[in-house]
Structure 1
């Protein structure tokens, strides 16, 4: 979004030990007349991607200040009991859980918060009840286009975020009786959830994909897919991600300058050639749970066969690179380019690259591995999570069928 389309009245940057912080500053003449707050810390990254959020916060605060000056006497520290006021405090309060979110989580989750505020911001908490939440859920899940699929996942995310905002309202003592009342209603109510994914990437599909990717000279796509499938590692832990470099920080490491004035981004969290070392054993802290997973890549012929095709002079920096750009894959580019090769390999569009993890877990269970052993190898903290990734495993069913057949034939009878 161009800067001129995202006004930021009152925005100031204050120097800190590391970089600078963003603040909305009230007009001096209005402050002298008694207006508070004089300033509000904005907990956003100073990047073009978060500019719309910065702009929205500045415009809300500016409007409140001007309304107070005109006689409305609104105050940031007061709470008017609306969804909009709860949303605002949820986003900018130093004690809000929002401040602990990663940049990419904050970007996606605050988009949902913005949707809630835009649709229901004027509603008073005292006037809300179960019927309202049901109506909001039903409206949110309507198809984007007539005849399309219901957007159940979207509706569930909105309800989940309202719960989060109300929990914050209880903790921050913002009209606790109403927040507790509404939170109790939501936690006592079931909403239809989106169906879990059932697709998985299978070994024969991976082999076909590798053949097509190598032929197209996209060996990194082949290698990334092979590692994902053989180890069960998440896509992000294999190919990495780009995080914004905050203003004032030195853009070191593998960095990328955005187009049209966008700030620097630093590549992180992906596998590097240094991670492989001479032993070909990788040990990595996963981005989601922080668990340490280790894999001996020498045990995976699909991986070693591809590694052998990469010249020694190219074995530096990120392991998975976009050959067309000469750097790690930009956001969404990996999935986009992967789909092109997948279609050439005959892999249905319903099967995604991220389904490689489900494929790895399902194949492992089919091979007779215990669920808890699989859980440990891929870094899940709970076996129930691993079980959700096992999609259509038949190994245990076959083992039981053999035992029952043996019993019927008298082989296992005392």
Structure 2
């Protein structure tokens, strides 16, 4: 009904920015980014999700209004070399375990093709080798499904479809969902030029101005929000959308009922300068004073809000040099997420770790364990407040944290059980 006027702008991961004057921005001196070693042989489920999100979820941005240099509203400039938050307590240790706190005797193991791409999650281990696709059971390692394919998957994610957990993957203009307990997936024909986001618990599909999601019997239409609002995620049958400044609107996609969620302000003089992510019960935004932008070199705040009532769950004071244009990376199993050097508990929304003062770079979390790189090229696993130096290729942490799936150098996937409390002692 909104025609070509919906949505304003092009963002899909956050509300469209309002029209604002063009401003000449002051160049900011930045530290040169250190390149991290990249693994090209294997792809993980979070990695596939990030590929999808990088294409499908284009971050919104806002250009600030002009503020005179001598104005009391001028944001405070902080150089990136200045420490804003107190450094989190973190120790670097060695470990004899394949995965810290997990037994070294695997519960099961399965050989995989040497050239196969391997992804893993609670719903299964996805193998792609040439024109063959196979899904292994994450609990036993046994084959659940095999098929010949014409195109390799470009997107894979754990999701919930009509209340049923499933492993979903997209190949070209089709998607397949392998539900728990089933031996064959359900195939969906996607709309033309469809864009997919897994920012929420359910997958949201956008094609032009039309929205839909996956249902047990096929694609289901999703109500289109008002013109000027951007759809962001679907959680528990509610579509979350908002314009730039909020409030967030949650509309039940079954009944059409709506509720308005006013985001609590972290400060009277602060406003939203960027939307980072929404979904899984949280909204993540950047706030700054009048005149601040994502690359202006000013003090800003990362704010995590609850999508239940709009209350603030946590705030982190930082600078645009550190996180201004970084992405929010939600990990496997929905336990952890990070942006730049800041690691969050995705369930509580609280900050767990700040590694900005250490030469540590975070990667896609696997359950509560976070793969990382330290000292430029040393691989590590971050567990709690300890970073363990190890070359372990951790694919996923499954079964509520009770098993860790690892891809060995011998092209074998192994499942290591969690140590008992007696073993940990």
TM-score using structure 1 length: 0.22
TM-score using structure 2 length: 0.22
Structure with higher strand content: 2
